[in-house]
Chains A and B, each alone.
Chain A
Amino acid sequence: MSRDIVKARDIIKAQSSLESVAAQVLELAKAQGATAAEAALSEESGLSVNVRLGDVETIEFNKDKGLGITVYFGQRKGTASTADFSSGALEDAVRAACSIATFTAEDPYAGLADAARMATEIPDLDLYYPWDVSPETAIELSTECEDAARGYDERISNSEGASLSSHEGTRVYANSHGFMGGYSTSRHSMSCSVIVEDDNGMQRDYWYSVARDRHDLEAAVAIGEKTAARTLQRLGGRRIDTCKVPVLFSADVAGSLVSHLISGIRGGSLYRKSSFLLDKLDEQIFPEFVHIHERPHMKKVLGSAPYDSEGVATSARDLVRDGVLQGYVLDSYSARKLKMESTGNSGGVHNVLIEPGELDQAALLREMGTGLLVTELLGMGVNIVTGDYSRGAAGFWVENGVIAYPVDEITIASNLGEMFMQLQAIGSDIDHRGNIKCGSLLIDAMTIAGS
Chain B
Amino acid sequence: MSIPMDASIDSVAQQLLVPGGLDMNNLEQVLASIMTHDVDYADLYFQASRFESWTLEDGIVTDGVHSVEQGVGARAVSGEKSGFAYSDEIALSPLQEAATAARAIARQGQDKSVKAWTRSVGHNLYLPTDPLGCLGDKAKIELLEMLDREARKLDPRVKEVIASLAGGYDSILLAATDGTHAADVRPLVRLNVSVIVEQDGRREQGSAGGGCRRDYQYFIDEDRGIDYAREAVRQALVNLEAKPAPAGTMQVVLGSGWPGILLHEAIGHGLEGDFNRKGTSAFSGRVGESVASDLCTVVDDGTLAHRRGSLNVDDEGVPSENTVLIEKGVLKGYMQDKLNARLMGVASTGNGRRESYAHLPMPRMTNTYMLPGQHAAEEIIASVKNGLYAVNFGGGQVDITSGKFVFSASEAYMIEDGKITYPVKGATLIGNGPDVLQRVTMVGNDLALDPGVGTCGKEGQSVPVGVGQPTLLVDGLTVGGTDV
B65 touches A450 (CB 8 A): no
A409 touches B408 (CB 8 A): no
Q: Contacts A272-B196, A411-B428: A58 and B82 contacting too (C-beta < 8 A)?
A: yes
Write out the residue numbers on chain B whose beta carbons fall within 8 Å of the beta carbon of A81.
65-68
Write out the residue numbers on chain A whose beta carbons fall within 8 Å of the beta carbon of B22.
none
B233 on the interface (CB 8 Å rule)? no
B484 on the interface (CB 8 Å rule)? yes
B360 is contacted by which of A60, A64, A385, A412 (Cβ under 8 Å)? Answer: A60
Complex Cα–Cα for A80 and B431 (A): 43
A427 on the interface (CB 8 Å rule)? no
Write out the residue numbers on chain A whose beta carbons fall within 8 Å of the beta carbon of B408.
379-381, 390
A100 on the interface (CB 8 Å rule)? yes
Q: Which of B210-218, B289-297, B394-402 is the contact stretch?
A: B394-402
Chain B residue with minimal CB distance to A89? B68
B247 touches A413 (CB 8 A): yes
B37 on the interface (CB 8 Å rule)? no
Q: Contacts A83-B70, A448-B247: A56 and B105 contacting too (C-beta < 8 A)?
A: yes
B432 on the interface (CB 8 Å rule)? yes
B417 on the interface (CB 8 Å rule)? no
Complex Cα–Cα for A55 and B278 (A): 13
Write out the residue numbers on chain A whose beta carbons fall within 8 Å of the beta carbon of B82.
57-59
> Can you list 14 A-B contacts (CB < 8 A)?
A59-B81, A80-B67, A81-B68, A83-B71, A100-B137, A158-B280, A201-B402, A378-B406, A388-B426, A408-B402, A410-B478, A411-B479, A447-B483, A451-B249
Shortest Cβ distance from residue A274 to the other chain B in the assembled complex, whole angstroms: 5
B278 is contacted by which of A107, A158, A449 (Cβ under 8 Å)? Answer: A158
Q: How large is the interface on A (under 10, 10 to 19, 20 to 34, 35 or more residues)?
A: 35 or more
Q: Contacts A104-B64, A272-B57, A450-B478: A99 and B137 contacting too (C-beta < 8 A)?
A: yes
Q: Which of B84-92, B123-131, B166-174, B376-384 is the contact stretch?
A: B84-92
A379 touches B138 (CB 8 A): no
Complex Cα–Cα for A130 and B433 (A): 43
A391 on the interface (CB 8 Å rule)? yes
A398 on the interface (CB 8 Å rule)? no
A78 touches B395 (CB 8 A): no
B360 touches A378 (CB 8 A): no
Chain B residue with minimal CB distance to A136? B104
Complex Cα–Cα for A202 and B283 (A): 11
B404 touches A107 (CB 8 A): no
For the A-B complex with A59-B105, A82-B68, A244-B484 known, give 7 more contacts whose Cβ atoms are closer than 8 Å.
Answer: A79-B63, A96-B66, A100-B65, A107-B60, A110-B62, A158-B278, A158-B279
B84 touches A60 (CB 8 A): yes
B80 on the interface (CB 8 Å rule)? yes
Q: Is the interface of B mostly helix, strand, loop or mixed?
A: strand
B430 on the interface (CB 8 Å rule)? yes
Complex Cα–Cα for A244 and B402 (A): 25
Q: Contacts A160-B278, A201-B282, A273-B160: A390 and B64 contacting too (C-beta < 8 A)?
A: no
B104 touches A413 (CB 8 A): no
B406 touches A381 (CB 8 A): yes
B481 on the interface (CB 8 Å rule)? yes
A391 touches B480 (CB 8 A): yes
A223 on the interface (CB 8 Å rule)? no
A378 is contacted by which of B83, B399, B401, B432 (Cβ under 8 Å)? Answer: B399
Q: Contacts A83-B71, A103-B141, A105-B62: A413 and B480 contacting too (C-beta < 8 A)?
A: yes
Write out the residue numbers on chain B whose beta carbons fall within 8 Å of the beta carbon of A107.
60, 62
A392 is contacted by which of B61, B83, B162, B480 (Cβ under 8 Å)? Answer: B480
Complex Cα–Cα for A289 and B66 (A): 47
B395 touches A411 (CB 8 A): no
B66 touches A100 (CB 8 A): yes
Proximity string of chain A (74-103) to chain B, C-beta cutoff 8 Å, 1 when within and 0 when not: 000111111110000100110011011101
Proximity string of chain B (187-231) to chain A, C-beta cutoff 8 Å, 1 when within and 0 when not: 000000000101000011100000000000000000000000000
B247 touches A82 (CB 8 A): no
Shortest Cβ distance from residue B428 to the other chain A in the assembled complex, whole angstroms: 4
User: Quick one: which of B365-416 are within 8 Å of A by CB?
Assistant: 394-397, 399, 401-408
Complex Cα–Cα for A243 and B205 (A): 29
A273 touches B137 (CB 8 A): no
Write out the residue numbers on chain A whose beta carbons fall within 8 Å of the beta carbon of B69.
82-83
User: Quick one: which of A413-451 are within 8 Å of B by CB?
Assistant: 413-415, 447-451
B66 touches A58 (CB 8 A): no
A274 touches B160 (CB 8 A): yes
Q: Contacts A105-B60, A195-B280: A80 and B66 contacting too (C-beta < 8 A)?
A: yes
User: Quick one: which of A140-165 are within 8 Å of B by CB?
Assistant: 158, 160
B338 on the interface (CB 8 Å rule)? no
B65 touches A79 (CB 8 A): yes
B62 touches A378 (CB 8 A): no
Complex Cα–Cα for A105 and B68 (A): 24
The 9 lowest CB-CB distance pairs between A and B, nearest first, are: A411-B480, A379-B406, A392-B406, A105-B60, A381-B428, A100-B64, A204-B401, A449-B247, A381-B408
